[in-house]
């Protein structure tokens, strides 16, 4: 077994390790991780690892280190769990390691939920593993996009759902910070489907041309020009987590901000800034809370169907601008993580790792 560890208090310190391969006991299974995507979403998991308990999903024995969560595909290598057969392939939430030991519950055609005791108090949205041959999202041709964008898309779908449900999508401009990030682009793609939505992209100077060329935002504004925006009722959706950007928006709009939603932390080094600002207090968007609400409203299958229906058109749109790089091995995974962490990956590219 091998994998990748990140220093929890210094995200730039990364190393490879070789833990023992787990052996399943009664009711357990071991899956071999085959491939996963690396995006700013993984950095968000690291930045928020302690606050949001992301490190707790895949605990390690070494104090001060964490196992980076990823999304991708794995195959059952050994199983003593009913309904989970050797050779079955699953999409889900994996550690940056070659294997994962699970305690499947509700095994069968659609997949299973990992009922491992250490996950009992963790958000349930990350516990489900879907068999590829019965997953409504899955197609062989879209596997790269599933690894790179599906978890982001799901978050974006839920953010769009909340903004629309609360009347914020059409109550003045929706300003999106880190507008070139893939989570922001997915949210913008769905928000643009609503009548009467005006999307304003806030981005760095180097990404203005790329964002403007997508044609999905009504306006593209570099961060340095936030002060030039007309003050009016508006909604701020923050995918950046940059304290200076957040403060600039709040200072410009003040009480005219109808809502300030924090979704991601692509500008992870500046995440803590921006306290004591005018206007409404920023509220962190926690996707599992929205999942719980919509599962109560629509049922788990109903939510899946709605997300899957929106996924196809989004994939078609992404194929026009996203270039996928492929790499193999854990050293490549380490380099890919550091490239994303340091902002060296342009918004038009992303990496899939096969391990």
Which CATH number belongs to the domain containing residue 248 in this structure? 3.40.50.720
235 and 117, same domain (yes or no): no
Q: Is the pLDDT of residue 108 over 90?
A: no
Which position has the token pair 């491939």? 35
Q: Does residue 143 form part of some domain?
A: no
284 and 157, same domain (yes or no): yes
Q: Does residue 302 form part of some domain?
A: no
**pLDDT value of residue 107:** 65
**pLDDT value of residue 324:** 97
Average pLDDT, the chain: 92
CA distances from residue 295 to 106, 108, 200, 205, 262 in whole angstroms, order as listed? 17, 20, 31, 40, 22
Number of structural domains the chain divides into: 2
69 and 131, same domain (yes or no): yes
24 and 58, same domain (yes or no): yes
331 and 252, same domain (yes or no): no
129 and 237, same domain (yes or no): no
152 and 277, same domain (yes or no): yes
Residue 266's pLDDT band (cuts 50, 70, 90)? low
**pLDDT value of residue 284:** 86
Q: Does residue 252 form part of some domain?
A: yes
**pLDDT value of residue 275:** 56
Q: Does residue 337 form part of some domain?
A: yes
Q: Does residue 312 form part of some domain?
A: no
14 and 35, same domain (yes or no): yes
Q: Is the pLDDT of residue 128 over 80?
A: yes
160 and 128, same domain (yes or no): no
> What number is the average pLDDT over the span 157-166?
95
Q: What angle do CA 220, 226, 229 make, to 5 degrees?
A: 80
Of 1, 7, 121, 137, residue with least CA distance to 64? 7
User: For position 78, which CATH number holds?
Assistant: 3.90.180.10
% of the chain residues with pLDDT over 90 = 78
Gyration radius from the chain CA atoms: 20
Question: How many CB atoms sit inside 10 A of residue 229's CB?
Answer: 18
**Residue-wise pLDDT tens digits, 60-103:** 999 999 999 999 999 999 999 999 999 999 999 999 999 999 99
Of 174, 125, 114, 113, residue with least CA distance to 150? 125
**pLDDT value of residue 44:** 86
Q: Is the pLDDT of residue 184 over 70?
A: yes
**pLDDT value of residue 355:** 93
Q: Residue 34 phi/psi, 5° resolution? A: -105, -40
Residue 36 is part of which domain span? 3-135+326-354
Q: Does residue 293 form part of some domain?
A: no
Q: Does residue 172 form part of some domain?
A: yes
**What pTM, to 2 d.p., does this model score?**
0.84
128 and 167, same domain (yes or no): no
152 and 282, same domain (yes or no): yes
Q: Does residue 214 form part of some domain?
A: yes
129 and 36, same domain (yes or no): yes
Burial (CB count <10 Å: 0-12, 13-18, 19+), residue 69? buried
CA 88/CA 77 separation, integer angstroms: 9
């Amino acid at each position: 077994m091998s994998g990748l560890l990140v220093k929890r208090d210094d995200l730039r310190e990364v190393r490879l390790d070789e833990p023992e391969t787990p052996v399943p006991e009664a009711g357990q299974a071991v899956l071999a991780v085959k491939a996963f995507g690396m995006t700013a979403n993984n950095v968000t998991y690291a930045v928020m690892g302690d606050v949001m308990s992301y490190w707790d999903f895949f605990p390690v024995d070494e104090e001060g280190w964490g196992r980076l969560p990823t999304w991708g595909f794995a195959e059952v290598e050994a199983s003593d769990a009913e309904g989970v057969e050797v050779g079955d392939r699953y999409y889900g939430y994996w550690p940056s390691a070659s294997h994962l030991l699970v305690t499947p519950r509700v095994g069968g055609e659609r997949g299973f939920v990992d009922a491992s005791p250490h996950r009992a108090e963790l958000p349930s949205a990350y516990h489900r593993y879907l068999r590829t041959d019965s997953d409504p999202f899955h197609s062989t041709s879209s596997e790269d996009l599933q690894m790179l964008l599906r978890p982001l898309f799901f978050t974006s779908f839920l953010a769009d759902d909340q903004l629309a449900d609360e009347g914020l999508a059409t109550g003045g401009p929706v300003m999106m910070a880190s507008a070139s990030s893939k989570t922001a682009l997915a949210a913008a793609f769905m928000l643009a489907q609503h009548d009467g939505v005006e999307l304003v992209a806030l981005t760095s100077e180097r990404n203005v041309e790329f964002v403007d060329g997508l044609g999905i935002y009504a306006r593209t504004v570099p961060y340095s020009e936030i002060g030039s925006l007309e003050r009016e009722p508006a909604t701020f959706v923050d995918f950046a987590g940059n304290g200076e950007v957040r403060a600039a928006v709040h200072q410009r709009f003040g009480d005219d901000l109808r809502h300030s939603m924090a979704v991601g932390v692509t500008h992870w080094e500046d995440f803590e800034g921006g306290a004591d600002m005018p206007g409404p207090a920023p509220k962190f968007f926690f996707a599992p809370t929205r999942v719980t609400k919509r599962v109560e409203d629509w049922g788990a299958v109903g939510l899946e169907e709605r997300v899957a229906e929106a996924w196809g058109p989004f994939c078609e749109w992404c194929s026009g601008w996203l270039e996928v790089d492929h790499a193999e091995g854990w050293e490549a995974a380490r380099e890919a993580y550091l490239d994303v962490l340091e902002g060296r990956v342009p918004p038009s590219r992303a990496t899939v790792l096969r391990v």
